[in-house]
Structure formats: C-alpha cells, structure tokens
C-alpha cells in the first residue's frame, strides 16, 4: 500500500511573516507564490502545515 500524499500550494505571501513560518515553507519545499509541491502525509509534515495553514491550500492526492 502506498503512503498518503498531500498537495500543498502557497496562496499568500511569505513576506512580513515570522521567520519560523518562513522556515516551515522552506521545509515543505515551497519556493514562491502559487508553487505547488506534493509531500508525504506524516506527523512532522502535518505540524509544519498546521503552523502556516493560513498561507496554504491543502488537497489530498
């Protein structure tokens, strides 16, 4: 059985945000506005997504 994946897209700017929030975006592999990445659905990834959820659009793949 394959692992679950999440499709994460940045929909708001990272400028003017806390440094830790910017680092979460970098940790997810998101580089710019409207950039979409597919990541594994793990507890650590879920934690990063929860921290910056107001900047993101999340879809299950």
pLDDT, one tens digit per residue, over 31-55 is: 999 999 999 999 999 999 999 999 9
Q: Could you tell me which residues come within 8 angstroms of residue 2 by beta carbon, excluding any fewer than 6 positions away? A: none
Burial annotation 2-15 (CB, 10 A radius, 16+ → b, else e): eeeebebebeeebe
The domain of 11 spans 5-60
CATH code: domain of residue 13: 3.30.1390.20
Overall number of domains in the chain: 1
Instruction: Tell me the whole-structure pTM to 2 decimals.
Output: 0.91
Structure tokens at 49: 């997504």
Q: Tell me which residue has tokens 């940790």.
A: 27
Q: How many CB atoms lie within 10 A of CB 52?
A: 23
Structure tokens at 24: 């979460």
């Amino acid at each position: 059985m394959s692992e679950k994946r999440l499709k994460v897209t940045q929909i708001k700017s990272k400028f003017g945000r806390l440094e830790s929030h910017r680092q979460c975006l970098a940790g997810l592999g998101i580089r710019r506005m409207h950039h979409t990445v597919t990541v594994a659905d793990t507890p650590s990834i879920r934690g990063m997504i929860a921290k910056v959820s107001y900047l993101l659009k999340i879809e299950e793949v």
